[in-house]
């Protein structure tokens, strides 16, 4: 067995890409990489019983050259006795309609067509000759695409320059869902040599030589200069970095999943407890947040590190602060943590439960240090007129601000931009109508410790009553 064939077979086996009797839709553009992919897949037909179909997507962008490519693929597949479907799409029109680049539109339409081709094949095999159900338990059809190690290097660099995290630095994954990439461990030079040795021709896409697309600039300009002037082994080093990033990313995703299972309360949204969350390393916190955002949003394309940072910053902010996120999601700082989701968090069962506030009175002594915990406050006990009560807001409530003026609590919450749905749920420590402390937010200026304070009331807010029980 030749070197390239052996390496591809090892990749297929290592990542469990194919099983005996599998059906595979091969994406065939007619370029060197996809011709090599199709030819290698055909070598698996007899020993593994693999069935193959090919799909060529005509983008409608390159006129006669694109027509030539489609004719070439049709002829190639006939020679390999592989059923072939030529599909024409309007990339330019789709790009204009969706407000994306032609490069992005082409990629989207290609993968959409491949998924549809695979699904149609599954439907065929589920339907018997008479139109009835033949087999409802058939395995999913695989989709094989021809990315090689050079594409991997380009992807890692592209993601690096775009500010990606570890997930982007791992580059292209070997398999995702039904998609497999058997050539990902072989380079372009090996592919070209293998094709030449086997007398296989291919077509050239003229747009690959232009510098119009970002990936082309990385491939044709940037990477060659790095290898010439920085390190001839740069591509290999970048690939090793990608493997390390993939291992680290997988480990951290598993750690985040375990943390979420242990600590996050889920209903229609998700509730992150702030105290234990802040005690974790920043990298784990970021993975927890991103995992929850992906789960709640149902997608990840529009999510970035900036959104993760916005959510993480809420843990150190005051109750009621909110950030809006992609996919209609919001993150809201509550008394004990951060709520993530859509709609009204107050509608969720258990949301807004009043905390237990432990109180004790002691004499103030010289040199005593004020508590630094945001959920522990000192009040001048002799200024309290009644019995402090933990409750939510009521009509007539007010708070005294730094200028010693009274301000209606309702107006204070509006001015502080506390979301309407949260205002009736924020816990308060109140002395009659005078709000001593908006718990987790701020206390009334009137009750602050001064030089004449003799006795101190210490109030420490702990868990909510429901979670305590």
Which residues line the annotated binding site?
A: 29-34
Write out the two tokens for 178: 């039904």
Contact 191, 146 (CB under 8 A): no
The conformational region for residue 69 under phi > 0 = left, psi -120 to 50 = alpha, else beta, is: alpha
Distances (CA, A) of 425 to 318, 355, 439: 14, 11, 11
List the binding residues for ATP: 29-34
Angle separating helix axes 91-98 and 102-126, nearest 10 degrees: 110
Which residues make Cβ contacts (< 8 Å) with residue 386, sequence separation at least 6? 431, 432
């Amino acid at each position: 067995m030749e070197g390239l064939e052996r390496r591809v077979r090892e990749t297929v086996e290592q990542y469990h890409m194919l099983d005996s009797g599998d059906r595979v839709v091969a994406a065939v553009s007619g370029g060197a990489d996809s011709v090599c992919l199709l030819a290698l897949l055909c070598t698996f037909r007899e020993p593994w019983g693999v069935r193959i179909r090919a799909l060529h997507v005509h983008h409608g962008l390159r006129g006669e050259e694109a027509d030539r490519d489609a004719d070439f693929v049709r002829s190639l597949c006939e020679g390999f006795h592989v059923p072939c479907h030529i599909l024409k799409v309007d990339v330019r029109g789709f790009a204009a309609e969706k407000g994306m680049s032609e490069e992005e539109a082409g990629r989207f339409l290609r993968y959409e067509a491949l998924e549809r081709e695979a699904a149609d094949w599954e439907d065929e095999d589920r339907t018997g000759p008479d139109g009835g159900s033949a087999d409802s338990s058939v395995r999913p059809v695989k989709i094989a695409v021809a990315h090689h190690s050079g594409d991997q290097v380009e992807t890692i660099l592209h993601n690096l320059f775009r500010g990606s995290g570890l997930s982007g630095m791992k580059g292209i994954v070997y398999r995702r869902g039904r998609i497999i990439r058997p050539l990902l461990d072989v380079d372009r030079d090996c592919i070209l040599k293998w094709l030449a040795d086997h007398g296989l021709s291919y077509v050239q896409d003229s747009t690959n030589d232009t510098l119009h697309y970002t990936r082309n600039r990385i491939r044709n300009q940037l990477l060659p200069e790095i290898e010439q002037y920085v390190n001839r082994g740069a591509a290999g080093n970048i690939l090793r970095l990608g493997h390390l990033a993939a291992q680290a990313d997988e480990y951290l995703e598993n750690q985040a999943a375990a943390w979420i299972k242990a600590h996050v309360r889920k209903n229609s949204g998700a509730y992150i407890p702030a105290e234990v969350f802040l005690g974790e390393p920043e990298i784990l916190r970021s993975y927890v947040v991103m995992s929850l955002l992906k789960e709640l949003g149902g997608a990840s394309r529009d999510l970035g590190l900036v959104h993760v940072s916005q959510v993480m910053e809420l843990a150190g902010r005051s109750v009621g602060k909110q950030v809006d996120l992609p996919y209609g999601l919001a993150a809201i700082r509550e008394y004990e943590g951060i709520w993530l989701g859509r709609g009204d968090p107050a509608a969720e069962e258990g949301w807004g439960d009043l905390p237990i506030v432990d109180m004790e009175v002691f004499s103030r002594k010289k040199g005593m240090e004020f508590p630094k915990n945001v959920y522990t406050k000192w009040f001048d006990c002799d200024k309290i007129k009644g019995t402090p009560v933990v409750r939510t807001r009521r009509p007539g409530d007010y708070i005294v601000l730094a200028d010693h003026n009274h301000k209606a609590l309702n107006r204070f919450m509006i001015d502080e931009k506390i979301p309407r749905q949260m205002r009736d749920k924020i816990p308060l420590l109140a002395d009659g109508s005078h709000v001593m402390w908006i718990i987790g937010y701020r206390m009334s200026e009137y009750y602050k410790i001064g030089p004449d304070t003799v006795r101190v009331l210490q109030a420490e807010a702990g868990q909510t009553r429901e979670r305590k029980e």
